[in-house]
C-alpha cells in the first residue's frame, strides 16, 4: 500500500509545501511506512473492547454535590461599581433608540 511520488506531490500541494526531489522520495517512504502500519492496526480484533475503554485509571475530580448556603446578596453587590434596585448596573451594550 505504498504511495507514489505523484501522490506525495499532491499531498504536498494540499499542505502548501515545497518539497525537493530528495524530500519527495524520503516522504514517499515514510508516509508509505505509516500507512502500512495503520493498515496492520486495522487487522487487530477490537470487537470485545468497549469504545469508552481507557488505560488510565478512572477518577472523578468533581466534589460531591452538596447543597450549601449561597453568598449573601449584599456581599455580592458590595464590590460592584454601580448598583441599582439590588442589581448590578452596567452600561448599555446595544444602542437602541426609543
Residues of the chain with pLDDT under 50: none
The pLDDT assigned to 10 comes to 97
Whether 24 contacts 13, CB under 8 Å: no
* CATH for the stretch 5-42: 1.10.20.60
How many other C-beta atoms are found inside a 10 Å radius of the C-beta of residue 8? 22
Residue pLDDT, tens place only, 49-69: 998 888 888 777 788 888 999
Domain ranges of the chain: 5-42
The pLDDT assigned to 64 comes to 82
Query: Cell 434596585 sits at which residue?
Result: 85
Closest CA to 32 of 7, 67, 61: 7
Share of the chain above pLDDT 70, in %: 97
The pLDDT assigned to 57 comes to 84
Tell me the C-alpha distance between 24 and 6, whole Å.
9
Measured CA to CA in angstroms, residue 62 lies from 7, 65, 71 at distances of 49, 8, 21
Amino acid at each position: 500500500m505504498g504511495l507514489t511520488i505523484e501522490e506525495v506531490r499532491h499531498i504536498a500541494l494540499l499542505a502548501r509545501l515545497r518539497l525537493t526531489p530528495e524530500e519527495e522520495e524520503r516522504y514517499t517512504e515514510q508516509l508509505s511506512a505509516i500507512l502500512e502500519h495503520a493498515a496492520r492496526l486495522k487487522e487487530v480484533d477490537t470487537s470485545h473492547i468497549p469504545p469508552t475503554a481507557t488505560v488510565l485509571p478512572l477518577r472523578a475530580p468533581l466534589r460531591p454535590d452538596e447543597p450549601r448556603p449561597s453568598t449573601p446578596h449584599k456581599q455580592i453587590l458590595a464590590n460592584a461599581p454601580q448598583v441599582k434596585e439590588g442589581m448590578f448596573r452596567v452600561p448599555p451594550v446595544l444602542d437602541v433608540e426609543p
